[in-house]
Structure 1
Amino acid sequence: MTLNLDPSSTARTTPDDRRDRFATLTFERDVAAPLSVLWQAWTAPAARAVWAAPMPSVTVEFLEADTRVGGREISLCKAEGHSDIRCECGWLALQPAVCSVNYEVISSEGVTQSAALVTANLSGTHERSQLVVTVQLSSLAQDMEAGYRAGFGAGLGNLAGAAERTMVLQRVIQAPRSMVWGAWMNPETLPQWWGPEGFSCRTKRIDLRAGGEWVFEMIASDGTVFPNHHLYNEVRPEERIGYTLHWGENGPKHADAWASFEDQDGATKVTLGMVFSTAAEFQEAKGFGAVELGLQTLGKLERFVASR
């Protein structure tokens, strides 16, 4: 989570005001998105990167991201004219669509500023969801309460907006994770199954690694051509990939996306998520049946793997 970088929001702690070093903060958000989608927006590294910055003048660079119990997330919060703020988050408990618990340590210029225990409780339905976040904060080098209130408040507002334009598709494929991953991350096989029923792919360039790209055209059964450009920013073998979707080669970005792969009793649970750049693009995608078409794509993947 990010903090407010306004230096006026914090003050040095003296021995006389040590009682102010400890605070319990609670944040609540009502989100117009399904509970399952909110959970993905809250935990998926690609989604967290979308909403983490509290304001446009701040950028957040993720150095490490491993959302599983025992994993950690390390990020740098940057703003012109200010020292970088380092945030280390360690995941202590993860109960999908129910709750998460993590520790968070904030430092700047090698000095630890604060430590906190962050508990998130989620609830809701297939239409709306609620998020309640409790932060048990211990300020160390300075009083961090005001910064936490501003940073968490802004970040969770961004989260709600991102969740409301996020699409999540899931399918359990009856094959080992290594096989599913191999079908997805092989430049020879990916174009053979990618796309909804009746679509084929024509590849211009393909390089399936972090920093790589896939420039291709999707061709409908009536011959209509849809230019696509995927830019890959993360590849963790047999775990997840992160990439951005663009309208044609070097065209405007329309979504930040990820695919994750989880073992499930010998099968593989595939989650395909997309945070659309605007609410309008999300609604347009829903309108032309992106959910159904995406599920068809995962169905083609399952059939392809079964045929190997």
Structure 2
Amino acid sequence: MPNENAASPESHDLVISRLLKAPRAKVWRAWSDPQLLKEWWCPKPWTTEVRTFDMRPGGGFHTFMQGPDGGTSDNPGCFLEIVPMEKIVATWALVAGYRPGTPWMSMTAVITMADEGDGTRYTALVMHPDEATCRQHEEMGFYEGWGTAIAQLDEFAQRLK
């Protein structure tokens, strides 16, 4: 029997969508090349080290971010689905080979990219295991942090040759 008090899955999700000026091919390139990803991945002045980047289902996706004050964020994860130029699904609940991980915050992100006018509609749907984790992520500054990274992605992708 279903639990009527259980929150709907949508209450566990955070969504951010932006129209980027950069064309989709450049946005995809900035996302799919680890040497480029590290240039925009986290809000500056934080920096990103890409420790593992095997962009295929089950492939490892591990970033390590460091702030100017010495703060760090270690994020080992795994790619779940890749549709070139359209969709990236990654989780921080699993690591390479779909092995269970021990994330500081369990989440799965579904990133989609679509042509819109001369630019790219970029949408990130971030799913959490429960409403409390979702609210914690939101309160930590999800919209500001992910929004800043997306703006950095757009600026960076526009400059790509």
Length-normalised TM-score, structure 1: 0.46
Q: d(CA) in 2 for partners of 1:231 and 1:276? A: 15
Assess if the C-alpha contact under 8 Å between 1:228 and 1:245 holds in 2. yes
Number of residue-to-residue matches in the alignment: 153
Counterpart secondary structure, 1:305: helix
Residue 292 in 1 paired to residue 139 in 2? no
Q: 1:301 to 1:215 in 2, by over 3 A?
A: same
Q: 1:247 to 1:198 in 2, by over 3 A?
A: farther
Q: Which has the higher contact order (CA 8 A, sep 6+)?
A: 2
1:197 corresponds in structure 2 to: 44
> After superposition, what is the alpha-carbon deviation per residue over 1:199-240, rounded to whole angstroms, capped at 9, x for unaligned?
111222221222211222111221211110221010001110
Length-normalised TM-score, structure 2: 0.86
Counterpart secondary structure, 2:33: coil
Larger Rg: 1
2:68 corresponds in structure 1 to: 221
| Alpha-carbon RMSD | 2.2
Q: Which consecutive residues of structure 2, in runs of 5 or more, have no partner in the other structure? A: none
Q: d(CA) in 1 for partners of 2:95 and 2:51? A: 11
1:168 corresponds in structure 2 to: 15
Of residues 107, 115, 128, the one that matches 1:255 is 107
Q: Which consecutive residues of structure 1, in runs of 5 or more, have no partner in the other structure? A: 1-54, 56-153
Write out aligned runs for 1:10-89 (5 A).
none
Calculate percent identity across the aligned residue pairs: 25
Tell me which amino acid in the other structure corresponds to 1:287.
Answer: E
Q: d(CA) in 1 for partners of 2:85 and 2:49? A: 25
Q: d(CA) in 2 for partners of 1:210 and 1:247? A: 11
Tell me which amino acid in the other structure corresponds to 1:245.
Answer: W
2:124 corresponds in structure 1 to: 272
Q: d(CA) in 1 for partners of 2:108 and 2:94? A: 12
Q: d(CA) in 1 for partners of 2:52 and 2:27? A: 22
